[in-house]
Amino acid sequence: MNFQDVHTLQQALDVAPPPRLNSTQDRAEHTALQRRLLVAQEDERVMAEWRRRHLEDVAYEQEYWARRREEDTRRRREERLDRRRRKALASAQADIVNAGGRSFFTEEDERWLVIWLSTSDDTNDDDNGADDWSDWN
């Protein structure tokens, strides 16, 4: 229900019909969920107040996460570069063998499996590692 003159949760609860609770267990679960909602709302309010009072801690946290994103991006780039190098080496060895030459890889060498590594660069530089489904919507 949408009411133009309702601005707070308490006002909405006052005008909304009571929930349909069929059993004692339903009422107990509903009460527990309401308590958890109030705790979460109070937690958000306290955290907003804390952020307002401790700007230096907020700035430090933002710097920390910026450094972490930068380190993660650098690490992913290095991993992609390493995969490309290993795949190029394995592919070169496969080309030598296919041309009738000898490889310095043994038959059981796991580097032969590197040929099948995916080296596609399908991540963007500002990727934070989280799945972002909003691009698909």
Report d(CA 115, CA 81) in Å as an integer. Answer: 14
- Domain membership of residue 5 (yes or no) is no
Residue of higher predicted confidence among 111 and 130: 111
- Domain membership of residue 19 (yes or no) is no
Expressed as residue numbers, the domain containing 114 is 25-119
Query: Which tokens hold the place of 4?
Result: 């133009």
Mean pLDDT of 2-18: 80
- Domain membership of residue 77 (yes or no) is yes
Q: What is the pLDDT of residues 57-105, one digit of tens each?
A: 999 999 999 999 999 999 999 999 998 988 888 888 778 777 777 776 6
Q: Determine the pLDDT at residue 137.
A: 43
- Domain membership of residue 17 (yes or no) is no
Against a cut of 0.85, is the pTM above it?
no
- Domain membership of residue 114 (yes or no) is yes
> Looking at the 3D structure of the chain, how many domains does it have?
1
Report d(CA 42, CA 40) in Å as an integer. Answer: 5
Is residue 76 within 8 A of residue 123, CB to CB? The reply is yes
- Domain membership of residue 92 (yes or no) is yes
